[in-house]
Amino acid sequence: MTARTKLTMASVTCVGLAILASACTRTAEAPSAATLSATIPQRTKEQNIELGRQQKTAADLYRALKDEAKGGKRLEWNVMPDWRGVYSRPANAGFAFDPDQAPGAPPTAKLTPEFQEKLTKRIAEVKRGIEWDPISTCAPPGHPRWLTEPFTREFIVTPDQTWLINEMVNDIRRIYTDGRDHVPEEDRIPLENGDSIGFWDGPKLVIHTNQLRSGIYQRSHPDYTERVETVEIWQKADDKTVTADVWVYDPPALAEPWYVKQSYVKLSDPDKSLRIRYWNCGENQNNSVFQTQDGTTQFRDFSFTDKDNQGGKQK
C-alpha cells in the first residue's frame, strides 16, 4: 500500500466518521419547529362548530382547509414538529368521545331520530346492568373511536407519513402526506382505521379519513355507520400537549357534523422506564369474555378455579 493510498483511506475514514458523528448529533438533538408557521388560523370551539356546519361533507371541509393553507407544504427532515414522547389521554376525559361532555350527561352529538333512539335504548340497558362492548374480543376499536382509548400513545412524524400509534391492540393509523390521493372510489372497502391522507400547514397536520367501518364512539355512546368520515387538525399545543380538532361527518347518524377537541398529554418518564408492551389477547385465558344470551358480558372459565364454571350461556 502506497503512502498516497494510506492517506486517501485515512481521509475517507475521517470523513465517514465525521458524517456519522454529525448524523448522531442530529439524531440526539430536538427537531426544530421554530421556522414552521401555519396559515390556517386558530379558531374557537364555536368557530370550529360553525366551520363544520358550513361544509356539506368531510371532503369539502378538507378541501376548504387545504385551500386556506394554499395547498400545504411538505415537511423537511431538518425542520420537523417535535412530537416525541409517550402520551396518554387525560383521565378526566374518561371514555367520553367529547371531553367537554359533563359527567353523567349524554354524549354531545346531535343525532338523527333513529340513532338517538338506539342510543337511548343502549343507555337504558347499561343502567340495568346489560352491556356488551364489541372490542371485548380484542377487535380493534377502529377510527374515530381510536381517538378515545385511554392507553399510551406515540406519534411518529416523517415527511411522507405520520404514524399515530395507540398501545391498545398494537393499533397504528398511517397518515400519508406524500401527495397521494385516497383509494379510488370503486376499490374502497371499509377498514377499521380507514384510509387517511393529509398535508402539513406549518406545524399543523390536517387529515381526511374515509373508508371506515361502522362502530360505536365508546360505551354508552352512539353508533356510527360506514359512511362516517373525519377531518382532523393535529398540532402541538404546548411542550407537553398534542391536540386534535376533530370533525365527524356521518349523515345517517349525525344531524350535523360533530366537532370535538381531543388532547394527549406527554407522560413524565425521567428514568425512561415506560415501555409499550405488545398486546397478545390470547396469552391469558382469564381475559376471555363472551356475550351472554341476555346481551351482557361474562367471563369464560378461569384458570384459577377447579371446574367448568363459565357463567351464563353464550348468545
Q: Considering the rule CB under 8 A, would residue 309 count as an interface residue with other proteins?
A: yes
Among 279, 293, 313, 314, binds other proteins (CB under 8 A): 279
Task: Give residues with Cβ within 8 angstroms of 73, minimum separation 6.
Answer: 199, 200, 201, 202
Task: Find cell 402539513 and name the residue.
Answer: 200
Question: In 3D, which of 149, 107, 155, 50 has the Cα closest to residue 254?
Answer: 107
How many CB atoms within 10 Å of residue 145?
Answer: 21
Binds other proteins by CB under 8 A, chosen from 39, 88, 112, 214: 88
Q: With the CA atoms of 147, 107, 225 and 138 taken in that order, what torsion angle do they form, in degrees rounded to the nearest 10?
A: 50
Interface residue with other proteins, options 25, 27, 78, 284 (CB under 8 A):
284
Site string for other proteins, 227-266 (x = CB under 8 A): --------------------------------------x-
Q: Which of 121, 275, 313, 315 binds other proteins (CB under 8 A)?
A: 275
Name residue 297's amino acid. Answer: T
What character string, x for contact with other proteins (CB under 8 A) and - otherwise, covers 160-199?
-------xx-------------------------------
Q: How far apart are CA 161 and CA 174, in angstroms?
A: 7
CB of 218 to other proteins, least distance (A): 9
Burial pattern 213-236, b for ≥16 Cβ within 10 A else e, equals bbbbbbbbbbbbbbbbbbbbbbbb
Q: In this chain, which of 50, 311, 313, 314 binds other proteins, going by CB under 8 A?
A: 311
The residues of the shown chain that bind other proteins, judged by CB under 8 A, are 88-91, 94-95, 103, 126, 129-133, 135-136, 138, 149-152, 167-168, 219, 265, 267-268, 273-281, 283-284, 286-287, 289, 296-299, 302, 304-305, 309, 311-312
